[in-house]
Structure 1
């Protein structure tokens, strides 16, 4: 039997072992916001006590700081046949990039693990995914040390069997899934095994992975565009009311029509769609749902496209909020024939083992140049803001009624 954990190497073994949107946002930051200072906060939504992991976390960060992007990794990422929009100056920058540990603080506050990243966004943006992945794996291998790789694969094939029994061949032909499981995976080995099985045996359509290291290893398409932090950083770089428009405009300025999937739930989907006019609806290929009720979200988005006179069948709807196969199937049945669609699946792919409770963690942007920013999710438990006054002000600006911060900081 083979363990689901590799204890002989560092948790992060490649600078490519991160989500692709980190690289795409990093290029835009290099070109547009190279001097912006930011602050990120690590959040344990489940409130699990992880303070005892601090020595191991610091050890893993030291290993991370000693890594660099290898020449073969750079050649893969900057393959002009696939990603001609990634630029030569950015390639040179990544070739020189190193993690600088002076920008990250790891300690214990009120008995809880506290991780904060503070410094230039250009140098801090790369911390998010490796920190989440290494904390998740360190916790899992301590709490569930006996998990075998076979446990991971057996569960995945059980889910394939369920899908074949409950979905028609026509539905499976449209069941497009991408791997988004880096940040809360059981372990790197588990995610690696899952991606390998998905590309070979998934009964639907496996589109690719957000993890650049695994895309390189298995020659898969890289999936990803932007994350919430791209929208949030503009809240302190422009007028708050215009921040979403500024973020969407700057993204188009950087990628000229490429990577055209926009997140809708940074300041609530309702407000997003008010600003999502014909100009943006034509510029962007589609939208991504990351919180709230996916059926309600789909109907709102489809109604907005119809109102603007745009055929939704020309647009992509990406669903990525806590999905598993059971949740995906009713969404598929609701939107098929009405728009193009796909599913980004995370925890339920690479951390779904009987008896294992996945760790609920995120790392969110909380300040820009020392000033607060806010995320108004379609699910209030995912709201983020450190400043109560700014939270109230932003709620008025964006017409958000429910600002319950159960999941905030």
Structure 2
């Protein structure tokens, strides 16, 4: 009976209350998509990496939350915020966002026992915004419906301050990237409040646009793997990184200049990261594999083109905590500038196991036909896509 009452309450509770409650790179990519690929279609799939068991009727409550998202609209205040803090998002895109509404019909959800299957399909320019808020909803609902008890707000504040103390001692630049696997919106907001109030001058911002608006700070982020995955469907695996970067430059003219390095492994990325691109982009993002080896390879790559690595950045974003940040920053010292995007360790370090879930693009229509897309990553467990397509990609790339 208690579970039924809690479910009824949840049916009247919206987890996502703003169109901007999403990662910034979703909006930057959406802007690029509507300008370059307005008719492209995409399909995404939910992947339950952690083999989590979902409670009965989870799919129904999830659908209720998605249906409410159809009523979210960009407010005039939110538009003014974007105009002020994100000038590289031009007025034509903001006009598009003014009219944008989530379409729940794009999302298909099935529950079979304790397993959830989900796919999202439609125009890429429309479906691109679903991934992050969907994951945030799944995470928060999962904890609520399974009765997972977190530590108190007071303990979260103490824990966050302790981490900040360590980062300040290391004198490293850190950002918060934790929307998609947060314990809850409330925890996310609390943690970000502490980071803003006590993180200066080392805290550089949050990837969450809605909370950045709430706290009047600039959002951070550039692009995700799907940008490059789509380019592979359109241009092939060998050239995908290079053409994706060139198109990014055409849209942003050097702004938001961090290149993502591991969609088809870093070794393939560096082959595409030619002198012009290496000079123009401000740095690279590391999201999988050995961070120290990647740092060495990045420095070596820059030196090959007579580019001083100390003028470039590496944004590390792979499952970070104070211990990992400490040894990475120590290794980078006086060689290259490290920045750290910390996600789950900020927004879901609350005394319960964090979820291991992802939503990834699995197919795209660049022109006429559906093409399966894959991500290879630098580690096997982070690769996504059909096995036969992964095998083909590795064969073509000689991996």
TM-score band by shorter chain is over 0.9
1:241-270 CA-to-partner distances (Å, cap 9, x unmatched) read 222211111111110111000110000001
Matches within 5 A, 1:179-328: 179-202=176-199, 205-328=202-325
Q: In the TM superposition, what is the alpha-carbon distance from 1:159 to its structure 2 partner?
A: 3.1
TM-score norm. by structure 2 comes to: 0.92
Match for 1:368 among 364, 371, 377? 364
The answer on whether the counterparts of 2:239 and 2:272 sit within 8 Å (CA) in structure 1 is: no
Match for 1:32 among 11, 19, 36? 36
Q: In the TM superposition, what is the alpha-carbon distance from 1:398 to its structure 2 partner?
A: 1.8
Distance 2:180 2:364 in 1: 23
Indicate whether 1:156 and 2:164 are aligned: no
Match for 1:130 among 126, 130, 133? 133
Question: SS where residue 13 of structure 1 aligns?
Answer: coil
1:202-254 CA-to-partner distances (Å, cap 9, x unmatched) read 37610000000111111112110000000001112123322221111111111
Residue number in structure 1 paired with 2:377: 377
Distance 2:317 2:232 in 1: 24
Q: In the TM superposition, what is the alpha-carbon distance from 1:77 to its structure 2 partner?
A: 1.3
Q: In the TM superposition, what is the alpha-carbon distance from 1:51 to its structure 2 partner?
A: 5.7
Indicate whether 1:66 and 2:71 are aligned: yes
Question: SS where residue 375 of structure 2 aligns?
Answer: coil
Aligned residue pairs total 384
Residue number in structure 2 paired with 1:353: 350
TM-score norm. by structure 1 comes to: 0.90
Question: SS where residue 41 of structure 1 aligns?
Answer: strand
Distance 2:164 2:30 in 1: 36
Distance 1:111 1:212 in 2: 33
The answer on whether the counterparts of 2:222 and 2:258 sit within 8 Å (CA) in structure 1 is: yes
Residue number in structure 2 paired with 1:407: none
Q: In the TM superposition, what is the alpha-carbon distance from 1:149 to its structure 2 partner?
A: 2.2
Residue number in structure 1 paired with 2:5: none
Alpha carbon RMSD of aligned pairs, Å?
Answer: 1.7
> 1:109–1:274: structure 2 CA closer, same or farther, 3 Å change rule?
farther
Indicate whether 1:98 and 2:98 are aligned: no
The answer on whether the counterparts of 2:173 and 2:202 sit within 8 Å (CA) in structure 1 is: yes
Question: SS where residue 237 of structure 1 aligns?
Answer: helix
1:79-111 CA-to-partner distances (Å, cap 9, x unmatched) read 2xx432211111111000001111110112575
Indicate whether 1:76 and 2:81 are aligned: yes
Distance 1:51 1:84 in 2: 44
Distance 2:29 2:112 in 1: 31
Question: SS where residue 220 of structure 1 aligns?
Answer: coil
Indicate whether 1:19 and 2:28 are aligned: no
Indicate whether 1:50 and 2:54 are aligned: yes
The answer on whether the counterparts of 1:271 and 1:399 sit within 8 Å (CA) in structure 2 is: no
The answer on whether the counterparts of 2:231 and 2:243 sit within 8 Å (CA) in structure 1 is: yes
The answer on whether the counterparts of 2:55 and 2:145 sit within 8 Å (CA) in structure 1 is: no
> 1:99–1:310: structure 2 CA closer, same or farther, 3 Å change rule?
same
Distance 1:10 1:151 in 2: 26
> 1:126–1:377: structure 2 CA closer, same or farther, 3 Å change rule?
same
Distance 2:55 2:66 in 1: 15
Distance 2:287 2:98 in 1: 32
Residue number in structure 2 paired with 1:404: none
Q: In the TM superposition, what is the alpha-carbon distance from 1:157 to its structure 2 partner?
A: 2.8
Q: In the TM superposition, what is the alpha-carbon distance from 1:278 to its structure 2 partner?
A: 0.4
Question: SS where residue 238 of structure 2 aligns?
Answer: helix
Q: In the TM superposition, what is the alpha-carbon distance from 1:154 to its structure 2 partner?
A: 2.9
Q: In the TM superposition, what is the alpha-carbon distance from 1:78 to its structure 2 partner?
A: 2.2
